[in-house]
Amino acid sequence: MDKLTSFLDRHFVPYAAKIANQRHLQAIRDGLVMSMSLVIVGSIFLIIGNIPIPGYANLMASIFGNGWKEALSIPVGATFGLLGLFVSFGVAYRLAEKYSLDAVTSALASVTAFMIVSPYEISVFIKELGKNIDVSGINLNYMGAKGMFVSILMAIFSVEIMRFFVRKNLVIKMPDSVPSAVSKSFTALVPIFFIVLFALALRIGIQNTSWKNIHILIQTFVSQPLLHAGGSYWGAMLTTFFISILWAVGLHGSTIVQAVMMPIWLTLMDQNRIAFESGKEIPNIVTFDFFYFSTKMGGAGSTLVLVLFMAFLAKSQHLKEIGKLSIVPGIFNINEPVIFGVPIVLNPLLLIPFIIAPLIATTTTYFAMATDIVPRLTGVTLPWTTPIGVYGFLATNGSVAAVILTAVNLLIVGVIYYPFFKVFDRQKCQEELKKEQDIAV
C-alpha cells in the first residue's frame, strides 16, 4: 500500500492538480454553482407540490383552490426550466473573471450567443387542423438542462472571442475623460459584434444540415453518449472511485470530478424531474443527488461511521478527540476534520475502507433502485449538507424504503470500516504510549 500511495503521489497528483486548476473546468464548476441556489428554491416548490400524505392535495385545494399545484409549478419552471440560460451566464461570468475581462458584459454576450443558436420555433398541435404547426417563439425545451451542453460551449466560445480581441487590442478605446461604464460598453462593441456573427454563422450553417440546430447536433454526438456513460452503473462506480482516490492524495475530489460530471448529472436529474411532474416513470438512477444519497454519508468516503467509532469506541485519545469534534460536521456531510485530522490522506490502512465502502454503497443503492425496491430520485436538488436519512426521504418524495436503505448502507459501511479502525486505533495507542514513555525518560 505504501508503494501505491507513493506512486499516486508521484504520477497521479500532478495531473490531478492540473485538472483541478484548469480555468475552463473551474469556470464550469463555479458557473454551475451560481445557479444552485435557484434550483434548490425550485426544488422546495416541487416538494411542496408533491407531498405524499393522504388528503394533502384535497386540503391544499380547499385552501388555495384547484389551481394550487399549477401555481407551484411556475417557480419550478422558472428555475429548472431556465437552467441552461443561467449556466450560460454563470460560466461566462466566471471564465471572464479569470481572464480579468468585464465579467457582466462577457456573460451577457454569452447569453446572446446562446439565444441566437437556439431555435425560435415551437411545434404546436392545432386541434382543428389535426396536425402540428411551427410558430415563432422561444423553445423552452432548450432553455433548461437539455440545452446545458450548448450553453457551456457558447459561454466558452464567447469569452475566448472576447479575450482574443481585448488581448490583441482590437477594441474601440475612449478617452480617459469618458466615464468608465461608457468606456467599457464601447470596448465591448467589436468583440460582441464578432461573437454575434460567430453564433449566427453557426446557426445558419447547422440549419442547412440534417440536424437543423446545434442542440440536436450536440445531443447526437456529445450529450447522449455522455449521458449514457455517466448515468450507468459503471459510470457511477468510476465517479465514486475517482472522488475517493483524489481525496486520498489530499485533493478535493468532489470539486474536481463535479467540474467534469455536473452537466451530465444535472441533465439526468432534470429528466427525472420532468417525468416525476408529469406522472411518468422516472428514467434515471444515477443523477447528481444519487451520490449524496448513497455514498456521501458524512462526506466523501462515507466517513460518518468512522467518526462515530472514533468518538465512542476509540481508546486512542487522538482519535477520540477528533471523533468528538467531527460528529456535528459529519452529520452535515463535512468531513475535512477527519480526512486531514486523522489523517486519512495518504494513510495506507484507512484508505482501503475509504475507497471500498463508497463503492459498495453505490452498488447496493444502484441495484435497489434498478429492482424497484427503492424508488428513484425525483429530480429535486437539496443542499449537500442535508443529513442522511432526511436527504433520501425528501429526494424520493417521502419514501420510507429510502430511509431504510440509508440505514442498511450505514451498517454495511460500518462493517467495512470496523476492522481497519480497530487496527489503526491500536497503532495510535502504541504511538501515544511510546510518546508518554519517551517524555517520562
pLDDT tens profile 262-314: 888 989 999 999 999 888 999 999 998 898 888 888 888 999 999 999 999 99
Residue 256: per-residue pLDDT: 81
Alpha-carbon separation of residue 74 from 35, 69, 82, 127, 269 (angstroms): 17, 9, 12, 25, 18
The share of the chain scoring above pLDDT 70, in percent, equals: 96
Task: Give dist(CA 403, CA 440) in Å, integer.
Answer: 51
Kindly report the average pLDDT of the chain as a whole number.
88
Residue 260: per-residue pLDDT: 80
Average pLDDT of the segment spanning 167-172:
91
Residue 8: per-residue pLDDT: 62
Query: Does 85 score more than 90 pLDDT?
Result: yes
Number of other residues whose CB lies within 10 A of the CB of residue 362: 23
Give me the phi and psi of 121, to 5 degrees please.
-115, 145
E-strand stretches of 127-180 = 131-136
Residue 384: per-residue pLDDT: 83
Residue 290: per-residue pLDDT: 92
> Does 12 or 324 have the greater pLDDT score?
324
Query: Does 362 score more than 60 pLDDT?
Result: yes
Average pLDDT of the segment spanning 348-370:
93
The CA R_g of the chain, rounded to the nearest whole Å, is: 25
Enter the pTM of the model.
0.80
